[in-house]
Structure 1
Amino acid sequence: MKLPTIKGFDEAAFNKYLKNTGWLMFGKMLSLIVGLIVARYLGPSSFGDLNFGLAIVTILAAVGALGLDTFIIREIIQEPAKRDEILGTSLWLRIITYASLIPIAVGIYWVSHQLSESPGKPLTLMVGLLALAYFFKSFNVIDAYFQSQVQSKYVVHIQNICLIISAVLKITVVSLGLPLIYIVLTFVFDGLILALGLILVYQKRGFNIFKWTYNKARAKSLLKQSSPLILSAVMVSIYMKIDVIMLKSVGSKAVGIYSAAANLSEAWYFIPVAIVTSVFPALVNARKTDYDRYIKRLGNLYDLLTFICLPVAIIISFTANLIIHILYSNRYEGAGAMLSIHIWSGIFVFLGSASSQYLIAEGYTKISFYRTAAGAIVNILLNLWLIPKYAGIGASIATLVACFVSTFYLLLIPKTRQQGIMMLKSLFLVTAFQKIFKR
């Protein structure tokens, strides 16, 4: 059966999107391999501590991004002459926010550590350093610019160079048998060199970051537009990472075993992001010129993402124990069952990524917030119930249900119900069979 494509896109352009995805795949595969090496080296307890710190910082860092990426892309497409103002304003907004989140992250961890009934060893320095690593993500506004020009390949090349340097550094730390804090320092270095790399590629393309300007009116406009997405991003981070934080009550080892499964399950989430990000400018343009074609392209996008993720979920469900044994030997016993459940969350993440672009294009940012809030609430409530009984298995079930609720929340809203139905048809291969029988 022929793999569905997003009909209506220029074939050469779509090949370019696939090529960019290939480069992203190389980078993600390298990160996955290095992550496996680090996980085997640290063992469940230390690996659990690392992922616990990352979970705290990731949730807070969702605020630092300010939900600006998509709006930067849209603003630059609509007002290309205002590029320096848009990028400069966005950069300063992020720098201020990320800088303020460093002491906040440390403070939240310190308070929770003091109140914990079984605190374990303090991780204050680790949390502070991980928050510092996220500060350098302020310069990801440059990535947003290249996305707006459908030139992500420049950023992907820089990311891969930085990943190779980072991989060498992490493997060196493991080879020397250095403690966890040195692994954490490599995360800080990763953030720094990527920021420098983005600046370098921007300058080499004939632009000048020093010409960027800050405009107060532009800042207010961007924040007003993106404020619902800030809350949405926080909610997404909560329902993707709160399970790790809540599992800490069971112990660092439980966090480590669950993280080993979850990290494998989430390793391919870059695929929908890469595809959806690449086609978003074309979707926006189609909406302006031919609304029916725009809706048809969304349906084809849902079909494509389903055809990518459904076979993977089925195969991994039946081979999860073998995969965990091969990758981790016997150090992460129990992670296989968690992986076989958690992998199905990817289907809803894939479809949710595509429908999020629809919500943004239509200006339904409040709905975007409500659906992620629903997912976060469901995840927290299920974790409170399931983690004490089933530990990591319970957390996996909670994540799966939360992702389903968040994605198909659109069915509850009359003006977005049609999109929810389109996703259901893609999920159950209805549109695929319709295309087959039409032939």
Structure 2
Amino acid sequence: MKFTALKGFDQEAFNKYLKNTGWLMFGKLLSLIVNLLIARYLGPILFGDLSFGLSLVAIMAAVGALGLDTFIIREIIQEPNKRDEILGTSLWLRLITNALLIPIVIGIYLFSHHLTPNPSEQPLTLLIGLLALASFFKSFNVIDSYFQSQVQSKYVVHVQNTSLIVTAIFKIIVISLGLPLIYIVLAYVLDGLILASGLIIIYQKRGLHIFDWNFDKQRAKDLLKKSTPLILAAVMVSIYMKIDVIMLKSVGSKAVGIYSSAQNLSEAWYFIPVAIVTSVFPALLNARKTDLNRYLKRLGNLYDLMVLISLPIAIFISFFASDIIHIIYKGKFDGAGPMLSIHIWSGVFVFLGAASSQYLIAEGYTRIAFYRTGLGAIINILLNLWLIPKYAGLGASVATLIACIASTFFLLFVSKTRNQGILMLKSLFLVNLFKKILKIEQS
């Protein structure tokens, strides 16, 4: 019974992504613990400043990724002999874009800060500039995409964990010495630098050479043409996941800090669907080529798995949210409990959305991916405009939940994708699980 939802995947594939998830879990758990220590150390106001900067840069990073990750995987699988051209072109596109985005994001912040100045709050120009620099190093994540295409994500996970351990030690030293916020921000720059260097090193150690990469103008045009809807979709995802923090800044850094303390705990689980769908995506593509029924069955099983993981988490945390906040943050962020009890339910729909996004990519429905995330972003912004002035972080939590539901189940309202929407609904209401339980009882 325990692994019924995984029946559609072969044991070898399951073992691979289970192992990858285990390594990722170690890294994410370490990161979560350190971030909780940082929040407790900084307190609501300074933690609010850090969270605001990270959220603003996260939207920039969505642009800088250029929506290329999945396309790099697909292109390499389809044209393995063009590997160096695909990776080289993708890297240069990202380097140029991310370099241009650093002054742009600083300019956006300065403009918005000038429009809504708060004399009691210090400008965050240096903080945002350094976080944008840290994001620049993510350009080298094209190497991660290569290893995913070869189902060799374990190498990347090892690099990620090494980087996390080094920066975790650095952050703990900063906290122990009582150093100011800017040193914690420098840890993010260090993390980006170590990760980029590590990716290059493991690529070279596999007998491959980054200096063999080349830029092709026509390939660049083709990649950008294909990925443009995904760029916009990724920006929309970032907006409806992060815009609440940015809009809360109008209430004050303290409000941002309290809300972010709940948001961080709620989103701590989001690496799980990413790890799973990343590992099974090549298997889904292969099944689509060879056996359509098996492909559809695998998608249904994937949705079931997403719900079976996320639903118990949401139920447990929603009941004990206030106690969890009080214990973890030692009373510094009391008031975040009700926000967490609402926000945690967004995860159920994020899990389903992550799984269905792989279906949209496999089918080439990039416009639909854009439309559904655009809908989520618009709903979130409108609800935040209405709810944040009245209820601050509690209103932002409600807005995020409604936006996630609308975005995920937008597929129900498009004829091409309605069947997938129905599959997700069945998974959400545990229809398949109950069928399997009844079948076992009858047998």
Shorter-chain TM-score category?
A: over 0.9
| Superposed counterparts of 1:314-329, under 5 Å | 314-329=315-330
1:378 alignment counterpart = 379
- 1:331-364 deviations in Å (ceiling 9; x for gaps): 1011111100000000000000000000010010
Q: Distance in 1 between matches of 2:3 and 2:347?
A: 19
Q: Distance in 1 between matches of 2:175 and 2:117?
A: 32
| Superposed counterparts of 1:17-416, under 5 Å | 17-118=17-118, 120-416=121-417
1:434 alignment counterpart = 435
- 1:67-92 deviations in Å (ceiling 9; x for gaps): 00000000011111111111000000
Q: Distance in 1 between matches of 2:217 and 2:20?
A: 35
8 Å CA contact 1:53, 1:127 repeated in 2: yes
> Which stretch shifts more, 8-17 or 206-215?
8-17
Q: Distance in 2 between matches of 1:332 and 1:139?
A: 36
Q: Distance in 2 between matches of 1:21 and 1:340?
A: 25
SS at match of 2:284: helix
- 1:270-313 deviations in Å (ceiling 9; x for gaps): 00000001000000010011111100100000001110010110
- 1:79-112 deviations in Å (ceiling 9; x for gaps): 1111111100000000000000000011000111
User: Which 5+ residue runs of structure 1 have no aligned equivalent?
Assistant: none
Deviation at 1:117, TM superposition (A): 4.3
- 1:196-233 deviations in Å (ceiling 9; x for gaps): 00000111111100100111111111111100000000
- 1:157-176 deviations in Å (ceiling 9; x for gaps): 11101100000000001111
Matched to 2:315, the amino acid is I
Deviation at 1:2, TM superposition (A): 2.7
Q: Distance in 1 between matches of 2:8 and 2:80?
A: 25
Q: Distance in 1 between matches of 2:74 and 2:7?
A: 22
SS at match of 2:332: coil
SS at match of 2:417: helix
> Which stretch shifts more, 119-128 or 262-271?
119-128
Q: Distance in 1 between matches of 2:151 and 2:89?
A: 22
8 Å CA contact 1:72, 1:144 repeated in 2: yes
Q: Distance in 1 between matches of 2:295 and 2:439?
A: 22
1:16 alignment counterpart = 16
- 1:370-414 deviations in Å (ceiling 9; x for gaps): 000000000000001110111000000000000000000000101
Deviation at 1:329, TM superposition (A): 1.1
Matched to 2:39, the amino acid is A
Matched to 2:414, the amino acid is I
8 Å CA contact 1:4, 1:303 repeated in 2: no
Q: Distance in 2 between matches of 1:206 and 1:222?
A: 26
* 1:419 and 2:428 correspond: no
SS at match of 1:331: coil
Q: Distance in 2 between matches of 1:329 and 1:298?
A: 42
Give the structure-2-normalised TM-score.
0.98
Matched to 1:421, the amino acid is I
Matched to 2:36, the amino acid is L
8 Å CA contact 1:3, 1:307 repeated in 2: no
Q: Distance in 2 between matches of 1:371 and 1:307?
A: 24
SS at match of 1:415: coil
Give the structure-1-normalised TM-score.
0.99
Matched to 1:84, the amino acid is D
8 Å CA contact 2:346, 2:400 repeated in 1: yes
8 Å CA contact 1:322, 1:336 repeated in 2: yes
Q: Distance in 2 between matches of 1:268 and 1:300?
A: 20
> Which stretch shifts more, 310-319 or 2-11?
2-11
8 Å CA contact 2:8, 2:301 repeated in 1: no
Matched to 1:226, the amino acid is S
Q: Distance in 2 between matches of 1:182 and 1:167?
A: 12
User: Which 5+ residue runs of structure 2 have no aligned equivalent?
Assistant: none
8 Å CA contact 1:66, 1:229 repeated in 2: yes
Aligned-pair Cα RMSD in Å: 0.8
SS at match of 2:45: helix
